[in-house]
Amino acid sequence: MSGAVKIWVLAALVILAAPAAGAEQALSGYVLGPNDQISINLQDVKEIEFRPARVDMSGSINLPYAGRLKVEGLTVEQTEQEIIKRLKTYVQNPVLTVEVTEFGSQPVSVLGAVQKPGVHQLRGHKTLFEVLSLAEGLRPDAGNTLKVTRPKEWGPIPLATARVDSSGEFSVAELSVRSIMEARNPQENIVVRPHDVISVPRAQLIYVVGCVRRPGGFVLGEKEAVSVLQAISLAEGLDRAAAPDKAKILRGAEGSAQRTEIAVDVKKLLENKGADVPLQPNDVLFIPNSAAKSAALRSLEAGIQMATGVVIWRR
């Protein structure tokens, strides 16, 4: 991704991470499930006190006076009404509120190049963009695609790229990260379902080392490759002591720790006397040091220091 796109993405994710208006009303429609915990407040009846109740794996809670109650699949409001019905035998016109104190029934896994990978709780209706905001956005080294894997119990992912995996148990779809962030196709911002897995792989990199102003690894972005001259530009140009005519590309082979050396005359490329050379993912462009240039620069620096010392002594 380009720097401008990343800034836009981070700003958008910050906005989405802020509490939305009407969040409390949305949680009243939250559908309960196993591992959720609720607190129950019965007003003006001191004789009946409820402890926090966790929904068990059968989807039920066990309450004093109200007994065992199946709440899986019920919203918070529906659960309130069911408990009130049970308590009317003991309390006249009970006024009761239910609040979810721990969310545990709607996990979604966000893995890979995000700021906060791990298991997050949906807490109701969440889109793909909102779930990425729960993970605090993408890292700078995030790749250009993300993958969504969904258990078949939730049906196929509603995307044209969706397919069934080899086991037949999951629906899998890949999306362009940039397309989602720029809202090119609103249909791609799908509703995330419990137990979905969202994985964001790291971007492919190329590396520039040696006598350049800013050596390091650089994200390829949406392109599959950049050229040698583009890579030098990313590294902010050559150092004064560089020997560009002796540059090399170090290219690895799949399944091997050894790298092949490919000679490239960067000096000719800079003089527009040769065709630019494309780099592949994980290539290392090495710009060696020129011994003659280094010696000349050291002599020049020594002369400048000596001249500066003479001027200071004369004063």
pLDDT tens-place string over residues 51-102: 999 999 999 999 999 999 999 999 999 999 999 999 999 999 999 999 999 9
Quickly state the pLDDT bin for 6 (edges 50, 70, 90). very low
Q: Residue 23: is its pLDDT beyond 50?
A: no
The region of weakest confidence among 29-38, 171-180, 299-308 is: 299-308
pLDDT tens-place string over residues 180-237: 777 788 889 999 999 999 999 988 889 999 999 999 988 886 656 789 999 999 999 9
On whether residue 227 sits in a domain, the answer given is yes
Do 189 and 258 lie in one domain? The reply is no
Residue 214, SS3? coil
Tell me the C-alpha to C-alpha distance, in Å, between residue 270 and each of 15, 74, 78, 287: 44, 69, 72, 13
Q: What is the CATH number of the domain that holds 79?
A: 3.30.1950.10
Do 281 and 216 lie in one domain? The reply is yes
pLDDT tens-place string over residues 91-116: 999 999 999 999 999 999 999 999 99
Share of the chain above pLDDT 70, in %: 82
Do 42 and 97 lie in one domain? The reply is yes
For residues 41 and 8, the model is more confident at 41
Do 109 and 97 lie in one domain? The reply is no
Beta partners for 109?
119, 197
Rounded CA separation 214/276 (Å): 21
What pairing do the DSSP bridges indicate for beta strands 60-63 and 67-70?
Answer: antiparallel
Do 210 and 288 lie in one domain? The reply is yes
Those residues with Cβ within 8 angstroms of residue 218's Cβ, 6 or more apart along the chain or in another chain: 205, 206, 207, 208, 226, 231, 234, 235
On whether residue 2 sits in a domain, the answer given is no
Structural Rg of the chain based on CA atoms: 31
On whether residue 261 sits in a domain, the answer given is yes
Name the residue with tokens 């401008």: 4
pLDDT tens-place string over residues 112-150: 999 999 999 998 889 998 999 999 988 988 888 899 999
> Could you give the number of structural domains in the chain?
3
Domain limits for position 80: 33-102
Do 110 and 144 lie in one domain? The reply is yes
Q: Residue 288: is its pLDDT beyond 60?
A: yes
> Of 170, 270, 182, 183, whose CA–CA distance to 230 is shortest?
270
Give the mean model confidence (pLDDT) for residues 255-280: 90
On whether residue 74 sits in a domain, the answer given is yes
Q: What is the CATH number of the domain that holds 288?
A: 3.10.560.10
Instruction: Please classify residue 219 by burial: count the beta carbons closer than 10 Å to its beta carbon, then call 0-12 exposed, 13-18 middle and 19+ buried.
Output: buried
> Which residue, of 155, 175, 200, is where some domain finishes?
200
